Structure 1
Amino acid sequence: MNNKKKTIKDIAKLAGVSKGTVDRVLHKRGKVSKDALEKVEKVLKEIEYHPNPIARNLKENKLYKICVLIPDDKIDAFWTPAHEGIYEAQQEFVMFGLVVEKYLYHPYKKEDFYEKSNQALDASPDVLLITPLFKEESYKIIDTCKEKNIRIALFNNYLNTLNKEVFIGQNLPQSGKIAADLFDKTVLPNSKIGIVHIDIEPHVLLKECGFKSYFKEKNSNHIILDGISFTSDNQVNFEKQFREYLVTNSDLSALFVTNSKAHMLVDILNEVTENCAIIGYDLVHQNIDFLKQGKIDFLIHQRPKEQTYLSISYFAEFFLFGKDVPLKNLLPIDIVTSENVDYYIN
């Protein structure tokens, strides 16, 4: 066979069938006799035929819809890069018939999360992409998607289910281990180290688990306190409770903050104690400022923009090119310091 691209007319002539028969075989529609099917498939194999799904989608005006259930970044700025990733992926694939719709929910209100998830499901998406901040409600959503035959993917927060949903994010226990390793290398022996959750979400407990397991596996002589949770909705109470924690643990050498809110502790910490190291997460501008001032020692970057961009891109390429969607994509865990932070934000 020569390398010239074969048309339906060419394939029909080679197989000795009509163009209509070839069209029905290629698009898997209508009835085709067994004999005609075998003839066409034999020719397709010989010429190494590959369909052009983009051309087909454009011709048929086929639209694919991805609904994204994501926290409102006006309430929590951590999610702003994730919204940027959605926008970039949408712009890249919109001309090929991909529709992306966002459903914003309050990151601290599970009722709003569940209500917005049902609105997204009512839109009959081909894929529902969610960050499952609320565990039980997320399980209900996953079950509903399964019933409605809607593909589902998770990003940022991992849920261990039996349905094997797609997940794009980081290995959260491993990120906790990395924080522990950093402290192990930088604080003095026999140091007391605290773990702080601010506005706790279920997935941060995986980070605490990884953090503690590191020191247990190393038979470390450091004193690792159990994680303590604070809520930030009332600033006065938040500061009072954190001050009390610091007074109770006046010999604290280090703090591991399991989300993007390490910056909320810095000023209080500096007033109450000296030489307490801090490791937190995420490149929100307040954390970056304190990192550059030397008041936060390390930040672990969770790549929220890349998480959403890849999530949408994987499914866009699945619909357009037939590429497989990876069941799990664990992104690199970046350690950010005052010396390399500008490379991440410029």
Structure 2
Amino acid sequence: MSKTLTINDIAKIANVSRGTVDRVVNNRGYVSEEKRIKIQNIIDERNFIPNAHGRNLSLNKTSKIAILIPEHSVGDYWDPLIKGTVAATENYLHLGLKVDYFYFNLVDTLSFKNVEKDFFDNKYDALITSQPQNKQLKLFLAKCKKKKIPFVLVGSNDSKYGSLTNLGQDALQGGRLAGKLIHYGQSKSLNLKYVIFNIYNEQNINSNVVNRIQGFTCFFKEQKFFQPEIEIVEISINDPEISIKISNKIKELNDNDGIFIPNSKSHYIARFLDKNKSIRFLGYDLLNDNVKLLKEGIIDFLINQKPYEQGYQSIEIIYRYLATFQIPEVIVTIPAEIITKENLLIDINEKSIVL
């Protein structure tokens, strides 16, 4: 080859993640035998030589990374993401990596200010956090950018905040996928209605949700012979009549109609369903409550954002940038994973979904 082969190059050739190649090169962590042989053959054929300078550099300097995420409960979306960062950190500890966790309250401004002060006082080399949904986090990221502190955004496919890289699914395509799933196998002659429930928080607007809804509606606009009625119901989580509004809207649905929840609140909506009706139900995220409903057959499909993988890769990307100066791609798209009760099996460490 005309250029020095890198781990990124091997990953593209082998069609695997950079983390998988790294584990083979450094002989640590689990990799399936099939992938290990494939990667090793590429290494041998292309005479790949690991970046020894980068590894030596990392031994002489401790890289301090802060992970900043919202407060949450056990079984929430953030749990597997944290597990992913912990697993990656353990693999890089011997190379001088130190990771600290900070939690903030999404609606408590003072809580965030205290976290922000601790972050800057401790002079961290880099930051991993979520796509900003409120003013506080946006201003904080602007300060990081001004101070030239690199940061990675998880759950993001948007480069406008100046992050080193964005790890997440394409929300627009995710919405299109949801549209295809919800009417899969249904007759085009049926007069169907699909309701999208967007339960939102006024102080934390999720742009991913907006894009998923847009993708869902766009999918059906492009269908020549199948145009179901689509209604978008937007309700504030703080609305005192939220239960009445949801219940009344669901009562309007008939058999074969469908419900799409573009965020993790499927379990909140599902309790209003009439079990005597056959209504299609599709949502996002493998929260414990959502998984329970999936097993019971109340939810038909869940789209998994693979938070464990996002957490693991975010650590790898930041470490390589700090220690070996590898510049990552600005957007790293995590493929969507479709989960049904038939293929649901969480491994013993609750790391990921095993199909």
Sort the TM-score into its range (normalised by shorter chain): 0.7 to 0.9
TM-score, normalization: structure 2? 0.74
Q: CA deviation at 1:51?
A: 5.1
Higher relative contact order (CA 8 A, sep 6+): 2
Q: What SS does the aligned partner of 2:64 have?
A: strand
TM-score, normalization: structure 1? 0.76
Q: CA deviation at 1:164?
A: 5.7
The answer to whether the 8 A contact 1:195-1:255 is kept is yes
Q: CA deviation at 1:283?
A: 1.4
Distance 2:249 2:134 in 1: 28
Distance 1:258 1:109 in 2: 25
Distance 1:49 1:269 in 2: 56
Structure 1's consecutive aligned runs of 4 or more residues displaced over 6 angstroms after TM superposition are none
Q: Cα 1:276–1:230, aligned 2, differ >3 Å: closer, same or farther?
A: farther
Q: Does 1:327 align with 2:330?
A: yes
Q: Which residue of 1 aligns with 2:223?
A: 218
Distance 1:168 1:160 in 2: 10
Q: CA deviation at 1:156?
A: 0.6
Distance 2:209 2:159 in 1: 14
Q: Does 1:125 align with 2:118?
A: no
Q: Which residue of 2 aligns with 1:151?
A: 150
Q: What SS does the aligned partner of 1:157 have?
A: coil
Q: CA deviation at 1:258?
A: 1.1
Deviations 1:72-100 (A, max 9, x none): 23277121101111211121112211111
Tell me how many residue pairs correspond in the alignment. 293
Distance 2:333 2:296 in 1: 31
- The runs of 5 or more residues in structure 1 that have no matched partner are 1-47
Percent of counterpart pairs with the same letter?
25
One-letter code aligned to 1:319: L
> Superposition pairs for residues 1-346 of structure 1, below 5 Å?
52-58=53-59, 60=60, 62-74=61-73, 77-109=76-108, 112-113=111-112, 115-161=114-160, 163=162, 165-188=164-187, 189-200=190-201, 201-202=205-206, 203-219=208-224, 220-231=226-237, 237-247=241-251, 249-251=252-254, 253-270=257-274, 274-342=277-345, 345=353
| Structure with a larger share of its residues in helix | 1
Distance 1:186 1:338 in 2: 18
Deviations 1:279-320 (A, max 9, x none): 011112221221122110000000011111101111112333
Q: What SS does the aligned partner of 2:278 have?
A: coil
Cα-Cα RMSD = 2.7
Q: CA deviation at 1:125?
A: 1.6
Q: Looking at CA atoms only, which structure, 1 or 2, has the larger radius of gyration? A: 1
Q: What SS does the aligned partner of 1:134 have?
A: coil
The answer to whether the 8 A contact 1:69-1:120 is kept is no
Deviations 1:172-212 (A, max 9, x none): 11111100011232445331101112344422111111111
